[in-house]
Chains A and B, each alone.
Chain A
């Protein structure tokens, strides 16, 4: 329920955490598809394995960081409800 039924003014909006988890899951599926395409290009057409390896490490490290922060933030939001 987005608005508690007993209040009409300054009603607090409640975003259920499962909405956020589903949103994150959708983003992760999209991320996996794009990442697969990127890695395919790096492996198939890359000229120097060292460059593409470094790119892969940087790319996935950054991505894990952002996904990790998102997950912690959602958990923290869920606890605060």
Chain B
């Protein structure tokens, strides 16, 4: 869970583009078809013609295939969890970047909107251009801090939205100084 300041509002919650989830899980489609490929392969080539199993071969095949499909199913949810917990949150005060890498590595970086110096957007390649996703690089005033949100949908719109919020945050700061 993310702790926000009092009166702080979430403006945007950005996850990676769905295409990246599909691309990352695509190999699972292949893994899921392995029992059927093996079954077809055995029946076409007659690979096991010299071996006979006592009992129902179909039941044995179904049992092994189901366990295999359970493994594929669980793997998909591990990938989905990684995707779902990897998020960039923009509030009216700050940017929170949460990097979930696998199940046992999590990195949370936070920086205030008024500390942003530069935002760069990169859309590189045919598929990112076609599906409208790309990378956003945010450079802050602090020496060490620069953030990259990769594979986010509509990076241009997000850039303008962050800049809008940044301008509002800077305006608010100016008003505070004038009042003082």
Interface positions of A (Cβ within 8 A of B): 10-15, 20, 23-24, 27, 31, 34-35, 37-38, 41-42, 44-47, 51, 55, 59, 62-63, 66-67, 69-70, 73-74, 76-78, 80-81
Contacts of B73 in A (CB 8 A): 59, 62-63, 66
In the bound complex, how far is the Cα of B103 from the Cα of A60, in angstroms?
Answer: 19
B45-53, B120-128, B134-142, B148-156: which one contacts chain A?
A: B45-53
Contact size range, B: 20 to 34
Contacts of A73 in B (CB 8 A): 59-60, 62-63, 66
B59:A74 contact, CB within 8 angstroms: yes
Q: From B13, B53, B59, B106, name the one whose CB has the most chain A CB atoms within 10 angstroms.
A: B59
What is the chain A residue whose CB lies nearest that of B51? A13
A47:B66 contact, CB within 8 angstroms: no
A76:B59 contact, CB within 8 angstroms: yes
B67 touches which one: A10, A23, A80, A81 (CB < 8 A)? A23
B80:A66 contact, CB within 8 angstroms: no
A27:B59 contact, CB within 8 angstroms: no
Contacts of A59 in B (CB 8 A): 73, 77
